[in-house]
Structure 1
Amino acid sequence: MSTIQEKNFTQDLLTKLDDIIVDFVAPNAARIDREREFPRENITELGREGFLGLIIPQQLGGLEAPLSLYKETVIRLAQACASTALVYVQHMSAVSILLYGKENDYIKNILSNIGKGQCLTTIALSEAGSGCYFFLPVSQVNETDKGLRLKTNKIMVTSAGEADVYVINSKATFAKNSMQSNFFAVASEYNGIEVGGKWEGMGLRGNQSAPLTIDTYLNKQMLIGEEGEGFKITREALLPMGQIGISAVNIGIAKAIYNESVNYVKKRFYTHINTNLSDFQSIQQMIGEIKVLCDQAETALNVFVQRMENKEVDMVSTLEVKVMACQTVLQVAELGLKVCGGHAYSANTPIERYIRDSMAGTVMGPTPDVLKELIGKIVLDVPTQL
């Protein structure tokens, strides 16, 4: 594909995305948040236009788009509805894992259905015993006469009860530690998988995170890649894809706060002193700071994505992008609250939702504190115990 063709391809997709956002994602956002409703209509429209198969190779029915387009898709979705953006990111994270099993006919069929917009998937990885180290499972699959027995409880599974396929991890049959792990692709209606509870979070209210109780026998065809190479898949596919996605969600939220703050400040007028809010120097400085913070985080993410596309990325930069994005959105949320005052504190305005949504990155594993610890160990040559 020539450079001109690539630009036209990207622009055509972004135009379709913007149409979906204007027609569905933005109008649905307040209701999804208020009623804690899963963004089914939004996901259906994204699937109809091929976005669920964005990074899947064309020979498998996907769009085979670059990571830069994935990043931009998530940012734009998050500016309108962060719940929809998170559901999409967890789907794409699962797709990045599934691509390791694309030679397997069972996995290939799943990927084909995703490319057709007929399959939503998600990752089901976190366990109470692993917490924010979701990529290091505690549960272990055991080989029996009936197949591979897996008994575990997964927590905080985005799209629980809504996804068509779960990508589940466990320690391998021979594992001596959590790094020797497996990924499995399991249909949601498969026997022995039950969804418990309903998501009642402070923010991202539509993502339907809930626990999964799993007690089932898996077929070996459900195994993604080779047995025991789960940590390799995590390092090469899941972690980079997840870091891009969650960083983009937070940057999208930050940009939404910025846009709402600017619009509010421009319109707010004080009759008794015949002055607009935008005339206050302190307000100008805070708006300027929000702009700088948003641009810094987005630039850092753009550089990381470009390095990934050039296969030049290292582990430190992989970990850094989410830290920067999470710290940025928290700073922006605080400034937005100061700038907009009671307007931002009211549940009748979208900025209140953005501020609640901004808190999620702090608790979503691997958390910024854990990432900073891992970065410190890498640069100090301190061995990591896993």
Structure 2
Amino acid sequence: MLAPPASVNEATARADEIARDVLAPMASRTDQGVWPVEGIAALKEAGLAGLVVPREHGGAGLGLRAVAGVCESLGLACASTALCFGMHLVATAVLAAKATPRQTELYLEPIAAGEHLTTLALSETGTGSQFWLPQTKLTTTGDGWRVEGQKSFVTNGGQADSYVVSTMAADPDAPLGEFSCVIVPVGSQGLRFTGQWEGVGMRGNSSLTAELEGVEVDADHLLGAPGDQIWYVFEMVAPNFLTAMAGVYLGVAQASLEEATAHLSARRHSHSGRSLASEPVLQHRIGGLWAEVQATRRLVYWAAEEAEVGGPEALPALAAAKATAGDTAVAVANEAMTLLGGMGYRDRSPVERHLRDARAAHVMSPTTDILRTWTGRAVLGLPLLGT
């Protein structure tokens, strides 16, 4: 395995190479519902699994700007793989936030060594897009914890080595809003995955339902202190998740733009021999798409940088970045399909895949509507949650 990348540019360059050589050739197969085992293995081998693990624990110690860049590179080639790896990076950041020495030994160091894949398990059927209100129960067992509940849409379900699970607080008298996060290792008794992911897009992400029936974990599998979940959700999960997903959908938008420009440059009218790229109306439309993608890229990267330094506009910037990247991905993929004509409208064409993958942005919690509301509330100086 390669040593961890020393900079954002080096991390992005490694992701670019893997996207080109491994992800892109397998994108069609992944889109058939095959979890991208080769792509994830290549990312581990390239030293990228520990992208956000602190350097003292063997990782690269890089932040949100690196997450955005790597996820864009991967999203350009295969959105499903980018989603899978992005969720690993988010869960890793959550693990690293308040890791104990034991948690560092069990999880962070193996992640940095490319030997461990993790992911989030937050969503539940009953709470919908309000993922910060889990109903999964956590109780004490004397020397550990018992977890009871069900998690929906668990990316990397059945494939990851550990799952960061959000739960209600173990204290039955805890006030509403106090929850916890625990690490559940794969193979834990009572943990099983059901169903089969058959989504419109993002078909290779193995998004399954996790059944947690009396799952018992050791005391040191609790992240932080009891009731820390809200801190994790809004201080760790939200910034990393919004940045990773914004990067993924930015990559999808860029891929759609490249498909359109390549088509217009290559295709010629049979009667005149003129390239489609010579048509002023098509030049106008491509120019608009290019500007839209570039503006989105600047927002995504600036939001990541603003959040890294704790800037005053980090909150609205991050919310707007993921919402805007989703809007841009859908709009550019849709327009690219029109510009490609019948060739783009064919089943299993790259642009058709991009459009299906892009649609997930608007329904993936926090949804676009929630993020636009959060942006407005933040700009107005109001708390995100409240009336």
- Is TM > 0.5 for Structure 1 vs Structure 2? yes
- Distance change (3 Å), C-alpha of 1:88 and 1:178: farther
The answer to whether structure 1 residue 295 and structure 2 residue 294 are counterparts is yes
Q: How does 1:211-360 map to 2 (within 5 A)?
A: 211-215=209-213, 216-312=215-311, 313-360=313-360
Measure how far apart 1:202 and its partner are. Answer: 1.0
Measure how far apart 1:82 and its partner are. Answer: 0.5
Counterpart amino acid of 1:116?
A
Q: Counterpart of 1:48? A: 45
Distance, in Å, in 2 between the alignment partners of 1:233 and 1:89 is: 17
- Distance change (3 Å), C-alpha of 1:13 and 1:143: closer
- Distance change (3 Å), C-alpha of 1:225 and 1:7: closer
1:95 pairs, out of 92, 95, 103, with 92
- Distance change (3 Å), C-alpha of 1:177 and 1:332: farther
Measure how far apart 1:9 and its partner are. Answer: 4.1
The answer to whether structure 1 residue 112 and structure 2 residue 109 are counterparts is yes
1:24 pairs, out of 14, 22, 26, with 22
Q: Counterpart of 1:193? A: 191
| Contact 2:127/2:134, CA 8 A, preserved across alignment | yes
Distance, in Å, in 2 between the alignment partners of 1:191 and 1:104 is: 24
Which has the higher mean CA deviation after the structures are superposed, 95-104 or 193-202? Answer: 95-104
- Distance change (3 Å), C-alpha of 1:345 and 1:117: same
Structure with bigger helix share is: 1
Measure how far apart 1:381 and its partner are. Answer: 5.7
Measure how far apart 1:376 and its partner are. Answer: 3.2
| Contact 1:203/1:359, CA 8 A, preserved across alignment | yes
SS of residue paired to 1:214: strand
Q: What are structure 2's unaligned runs of at least 5 residues?
A: none
Share of identical aligned residues, percent? 29
SS of residue paired to 2:205: coil
1:64 pairs, out of 58, 61, 64, with 61
Q: Deviations over 1:263-316 (max 9, x none)?
A: 001111111244321122221121111101100100001111121222215322
SS of residue paired to 1:236: helix
| Contact 2:250/2:325, CA 8 A, preserved across alignment | yes
Query: How does the TM-score come out when normalised to structure 1?
Result: 0.93
Measure how far apart 1:252 and its partner are. Answer: 0.2
Q: Deviations over 1:194-243 (max 9, x none)?
A: 10011111111110101001012232211011111111122111100001
Q: Counterpart of 1:75? A: 72
Q: Deviations over 1:89-112 (max 9, x none)?
A: 111110111012322413442111
- Distance change (3 Å), C-alpha of 1:275 and 1:159: same
Q: Counterpart of 1:204? A: 202
Q: Counterpart of 1:3? A: none
Query: How does the TM-score come out when normalised to structure 2?
Result: 0.93
Counterpart amino acid of 1:117?
G
Distance, in Å, in 1 between the alignment partners of 2:8 and 2:144 is: 45
Q: Counterpart of 1:372? A: 372
Say what the alpha-carbon RMSD is for the aligned residues.
2.0
Which has the higher mean CA deviation after the structures are superposed, 342-351 or 203-212? Answer: 342-351
Aligned residue pair count: 380
SS of residue paired to 1:151: strand
